[in-house]
Structure 1
């Protein structure tokens, strides 16, 4: 098997894994956490933010933004211009909407929440900390979930795109 389809497959798979994690959070984890009282919510988010930093998640989270542009570069030029354009779009959407939003929006909020001493606070302090975290975090999360899903859709489109066929030269007629 050639390198191009392998890189395209890995780029698409890693993008799909990230989109899947964000989708799972959006439809199950976040609604479940919303039912918890503030101290339990904060403790759960602190625990999730600790364990998500692992080699398996890192492989997909950093794999997608590295493999998408590599795949685009491998498919640059004719007859693969459709794949190239879809992969460039997927790269831009993922870099800005997923990786960028995570780095600029979600991680700073996670870091702030990590320093909150949930065991030594009042219920009112926990409620205030949650209010300052949950709303902004969920808004940023929804952006990255949508962006990752769009990037995945574009990458799948690149997988399905067919090379441009050469049209016969009819200039001699």
Structure 2
């Protein structure tokens, strides 16, 4: 069972790395561009992410999290159970729910503004600030899930 936790922990660590890149420098770089250019860059990134390995990991880790939660309840005890379940909660709420209820709707709204220069210029600064804050939460949550699952793998 430790190999499942190890693979899931490494996969979510990769997700955390992508989120960290956005929080650390990608969003800051886009925010420095003129509003319509920064927004256009973000729309382009959002369009390409749907056909990426990152998206496979992001979505694929949701059912994996559910499986790990059941595994923890049925097979693990003590610290291994607690760490595994903490990682599940961190991923499902702090990554998956934040993405689906926060970042994705903002991305959809930004893309719908395509060609509306004044509206985009007005929305972009608020978008960049709020989207980045939500991304910070996803970064911390995915790193926490990785830490929990990798630690649990060592004590199972």
TM-score, L = length of structure 1: 0.80
2:53 maps to what in 1?
56
Do structure 1's residue 113 and structure 2's residue 110 form an aligned pair? yes
Task: For structure 2, list consecutive stretches of 5 or more residues without a partner in the other structure.
Answer: none
Within 5 A, what are the aligned runs for 1:34-53? 34-53=31-50
Within 5 A, what are the aligned runs for 1:1-173? 4-76=1-73, 80-118=77-115, 121-122=117-118, 125-161=119-155, 163=156
Answer whether contact 2:72 2:85 (CA < 8 A) is retained: no
After TM superposition, give the deviation of residue 126 of structure 1 in Å.
Answer: 3.3
- Greater relative CO, 1 or 2 (CA 8 Å, sep 6+): 2
Distance 1:126 1:60 in 2: 30
Distance 1:78 1:113 in 2: 45
TM-score, L = length of structure 2: 0.88
Answer whether contact 2:66 2:88 (CA < 8 A) is retained: yes
Deviations 1:71-109 (A, max 9, x none): 343344576432222111100111111100000100000
After TM superposition, give the deviation of residue 61 of structure 1 in Å.
Answer: 0.4
Distance 1:154 1:111, change over 3 A: same
Distance 1:41 1:71, change over 3 A: same
Distance 1:79 1:25, change over 3 A: closer
After TM superposition, give the deviation of residue 27 of structure 1 in Å.
Answer: 1.2
Answer whether contact 1:86 1:158 (CA < 8 A) is retained: yes
Give the match's secondary structure for 2:113: coil
Bigger mean CA deviation after superposition, 58-67 or 143-152: 58-67
Deviations 1:92-144 (A, max 9, x none): 111111100000100000000011124x524xx43202123112211111111
Deviations 1:10-47 (A, max 9, x none): 21122112111101111121121121110110100000
Query: Aligned-residue CA RMSD in angstroms?
Result: 2.0
